[in-house]
Amino acid sequence: MKVQLDKRGWVKNVSKTLPVDRIDAESIGLVFFRQNGPQMFCDAVENALRNQSEFRSWYFTIIDALAGKQMVNVCPVSRNRWCEIDIAADLAIAEELFGEMAVRQNCSQTPA
């Protein structure tokens, strides 16, 4: 998901279809809620489930709507080691980044 930030650094939009000139960041798909955020998100999900036009929306559609109300902030992950896996080539990169760590922690044989 592509992310557009406002002038203060808050999330303005989250969408796969943002024009390239409006993309400031990319979401890795992790969401952390604070204070009344969990309840607001649950209420928005319940509302979407009741609304036939939004019934098949991705959860990022709800995050995007909350962002439009200046309720979503960012947490940079650039200092951390991470890798998005969408295709086989990404998996090879992840194995290179984390393979040694998985062997050390015996994670490579742990069932999912």
- Would you say how long the chain is, in residues? 112
End-to-end Cα spacing for the chain: 25
Looking at 1-58, list the stretches that DSSP marks H as alpha helix, in order from N- to C-terminal side.
37-50
User: For the residues of 62-86, what is the DSSP string, one character each?
Assistant: HHHHHHTTT-------TTS-----S
CA distances 92 to 2, 29, 58, 80, 103, Å, are 23, 20, 27, 19, 15
Query: Which of 14-18, 44-48, 96-100 has the largest mean confidence?
Result: 14-18
Q: Which pLDDT value is given to residue 111?
A: 43
The percent of residues in the chain predicted with pLDDT above 90, rounded, is 28
Distance, CA of 4 to CA of 13 (rounded, Å):
5
What is the value of pTM for the model shown? 0.67
pLDDT tens sequence across 25-77:
988 888 888 899 899 999 988 888 888 776 667 788 889 989 988 889 988 88
